[in-house]
Chain A
Amino acid sequence: NAGVTQTPKFQVLKTGQSMTLQCAQDMNHEYMSWYRQDPGMGLRLIHYSVGAGITDQGEVPNGYNVSRSTTEDFPLRLLSAAPSQTSVYFCASRSPGTGYTFGSGTRLTVV
């Protein structure tokens, strides 16, 4: 089925560990974004991309890196996990002038 695929769905990390959250879309969307969702905070934008090779920071970029080597993939890297990064992470993609298609999310716990 066409859409946005996020892996893994659940992850537990120890403080200081690094990991990559994967995101892939098969709709040939130019724009892709990563959001985190915390209780009572809504969704906050971490990083976004407007095309392969082009990325920019969102509202809360610290502690995260992204790259966009292909149109389809937009991985999010946690450099050194901290308990404050415990959250649900959503990847989303869209074409210009349209709404986002969201993935099903990755629930990350940092202990």
Chain B
Amino acid sequence: SQQGEEDPQALSIQEGENATMNCSYKTSINNLQWYRQNSGRGLVHLILIRSNEREKHSGRLRVTLDTSKKSSSLLITASRAADTASYFCATDDSTTSGTYKYIFGTGTRLKVLA
């Protein structure tokens, strides 16, 4: 079964608005990552956040991690049409395989309308 589950499955917003997507996972983790995938392309790494970190920023991206709730959120501020893509979280499993392998969620499809 999937380790991570993103919510919502799909999101449509106007350009300039903020987009928030969430990821919930099942086991204790060492790290959580977020990726972007444009239609028909490979995934692009956005941010890695470690289990002892609560928040991380990269440009217009803000990621939070709540290990007590086993959840993470990705916030994209001042969205642009070019942010239209699918976004995935990926987690390792600190109880079994450590950081050797990552399991991906099913993704959130974001559409930013111009």
> Which A residues have a C-beta under 8 Å from some C-beta of B?
4, 31, 33, 35, 40-45, 48, 50, 56, 58-59, 90, 92, 96-105
Contacts and interface: CB of A to CB of B under 8 A. Distances in A.
Contacts of B105: 42
Contacts of A33: 101-102
Interface stretch (B37-45, B62-70, B75-83): B37-45
B88 A48 contact: no
Contacts of B48: 97-99
Contact of B88 (A42, A97, A98, A104): A42
Name, among A4, A43, A48, A58, the residue most crowded by chain B CB atoms within 10 Å (CB to CB).
Answer: A43
Given A43-B88, A96-B99, A97-B99, A35 B104 contact: yes
Nearest to B89: A42
